[in-house]
Amino acid sequence: MEKVLVKLKDRSYPIYLTREALDDVGSVLRRMDRLEKVVIITDSRVAEMYLESVKRGFHAAGYQVDSIVIPAGEESKSINQVVQIYDRLLDLEVDRKGILAALGGGVVGDITGFVAATYLRGVDYVQIPTTLVAQVDSAIGGKTGVNLSQGKNLVGAFWHPRLVFSDVGVLKTLDQREFIAGLAEVIKYGIIMDSSLFKYLEENADKILSKKEESLYYIVKRCARNKALVVEEDEREESGRRSILNFGHTIGHALEASTNYQGYLHGEAVAIGMVFASKISKNLGFCSNGAVDRIHQLIERYGLPHEQPDLNEDDFDPIIRVDKKMTKGRINFVFVEDIGKVKLEKIDIRDLLIH
Ligand SMILES: NC(=O)c1ccc[n+]([C@@H]2O[C@H](COP(=O)([O-])OP(=O)(O)OC[C@H]3O[C@@H](n4cnc5c(N)ncnc54)[C@H](O)[C@@H]3O)[C@@H](O)[C@H]2O)c1
């Protein structure tokens, strides 16, 4: 087992990386605290596969264990579901001596984190991410939240977990399309800050696509460290550094919204967004043809979509609504300068569309 630290003064926490050792989470947590009761929050799909072994691990470490199972899927990331979880926690008489454990993908992680941030004005929680998206991105960084009918992630809080426990063994049961969509976020780290990771992805596509454990372990560890570095520099998205994580996401979000969140998985929309953002970067003279070609080829190699998106100005409305730094139609946009290097600049939405 290895450890990556997210260094945030008194909010610092470790990310543990393991293979095929999910039930160790109980003993790892036990070394850090003296809490008595754990409530595992998971979704119906993950529960079938992994709830028993995680429960066993917590029991063995001396915790009293309860669980709450929510339906699998993005629809569960709602205020209504939050209220149902509060009700269950009150029924289970969970007080501040209890700790929540989010066992699942980004949906379970985001809603559990939000419940932890708000229940009894804040209780502890741990993240046990089981999707690639969650292991490389959503479980790290303390952004929690739920969706409203008006848009995604409109209600939330920054609330860091006590620890993150990522077992790459669980990725083997992940649906291949979900897995590949998660790889878009991995490729993103290569482009924005880690040219060695990018090269590794170029050279090891077969191993990664066939989910060889050592390569999964390598990419998850590398991305966890990258995300930790960005979060350490800009914990609450104030200095702008954290915005580099939005590379490919402006176009990706617009595409998801324009297809009513039905056409693409998030990572697939981000892949299209990354190819498009690189082409715009080249057209504006920020980066070379060579870098753009490598990005395009890598995304294609992993079987991710890369077609030219068909968007109009209105498709950006959901982004504009939440981008508080936007002025007169200009949005913050992440441009590529080279593999491993990006820069943030404002651009007019209409200029985006003519490229
Ligand atoms: N907080 C953040 O910083 C952040 C960052 C990125 C994404 N997100 C959020 O994350 C969510 C998407 O997360 P996701 O892609 O993990 O989706 P998800 O949580 O919906 O999981 C996808 C599907 O995979 C199933 N699953 C999970 N683990 C599995 C496993 N090991 N084997 C088999 N099936 C498994 C789930 O039951 C679900 O059906 C979105 O709501 C997004 O907004 C948050």
Average pLDDT over residues 31-52: 94
**Does the Cβ of 131 fall within 6 Å of ligand 1?**
yes
Residue 322 binned pLDDT confidence (cut-offs 50, 70, 90)? low
Cα(134) to ligand 1 centroid in Å equals 6
| pLDDT above 90 (res 101) | yes
Task: Confirm whether 188 is a catalytic residue.
Answer: no
Among all chains, which residue has been given the structure tokens 């079987």? 303
Q: Return the amino acid letter for 137.
A: D
**Does the Cβ of 134 fall within 6 Å of ligand 1?**
yes
Pick the atom of ligand 1 nearest to 143's CA.
Answer: 1
Q: What is the pLDDT of residue 237?
A: 86
Cβ neighbours of residue 172 under 8 Å, at least 6 residues apart?
A: 211
The two beta strands, 37-43 and 64-70, are parallel
Compute the distance between CA of residue 226 and CA of residue 81 in angstroms, rounded to an integer. 32
Burial bucket for residue 202 (CB in 10 Å: 0-12, 13-18, 19+): middle
**Does the Cβ of 185 fall within 6 Å of ligand 1?**
no
Query: Secondary structure of 247-288 in the HEC alphabet?
Result: CCHHHHHHHHHHCCCCCCCHHHHHHHHHHHHHHHHHHCCCCC
Task: Confirm whether 185 is a catalytic residue.
Answer: yes
- Output the pTM of the full model: 0.95
277 is written with which tokens? 């953002």
Cα(328) to ligand 1 centroid in Å equals 34
61 is written with which tokens? 């470490």
| Cross-strand bridge partners of residue 146 | 155
Whole-number average pLDDT of the chain: 93
- CB–CB of 133/105 below 8 Å? yes
Q: What does the pLDDT look like over 217-245, one tens digit per residue?
A: 999 999 999 999 999 999 998 888 899 99
Residue 151 binned pLDDT confidence (cut-offs 50, 70, 90)? confident
Higher pLDDT, 308 or 231: 231
The two beta strands, 2-6 and 13-18, are antiparallel
| pLDDT above 80 (res 329) | no
Q: Return the amino acid letter for 208.
A: I
Q: What does the pLDDT look like over 114-132, one tens digit per residue?
A: 999 999 999 999 999 999 9
Average pLDDT over residues 8-36: 92
Q: What is the pLDDT of residue 150?
A: 84
- CB–CB of 53/24 below 8 Å? no
Pick the atom of ligand 1 nearest to 45's CA.
Answer: 37
| pLDDT above 80 (res 311) | no
**Does the Cβ of 141 fall within 6 Å of ligand 1?**
yes
Residue 152 binned pLDDT confidence (cut-offs 50, 70, 90)? confident
Compute the distance between CA of residue 31 and CA of residue 36 in angstroms, rounded to an integer. 13
Residue 328 binned pLDDT confidence (cut-offs 50, 70, 90)? low
Share of the chain above pLDDT 70, in %: 96
Among 59-68, 96-105, 238-247, which is the least confidently predicted range? 238-247
Burial bucket for residue 154 (CB in 10 Å: 0-12, 13-18, 19+): middle
Cα(351) to ligand 1 centroid in Å equals 33
Q: What is the pLDDT of residue 312?
A: 75
Average pLDDT over residues 165-180: 97
Q: What is the pLDDT of residue 82?
A: 98
E strands in the chain: 2-6, 13-18, 37-43, 64-70, 98-104, 124-129, 143-148, 151-158, 164-167, 330-338, 341-348
Average pLDDT over residues 14-26: 95
Phi and psi torsions of 241, nearest 5°: -55, -40
Residue nearest to atom 16 of ligand 1 (CA): 105
- The count of C-alpha atoms lying within 13 angstroms of the C-alpha of 353, restricted to the half-sphere facing its C-beta, is 15
Given the residues 242, 282, 294, 306, the one annotated as active site = 242
Higher pLDDT, 208 or 349: 208
- CB–CB of 190/340 below 8 Å? yes
| pLDDT above 70 (res 320) | no
Q: What is the pLDDT of residue 323?
A: 61
| pLDDT above 90 (res 53) | yes
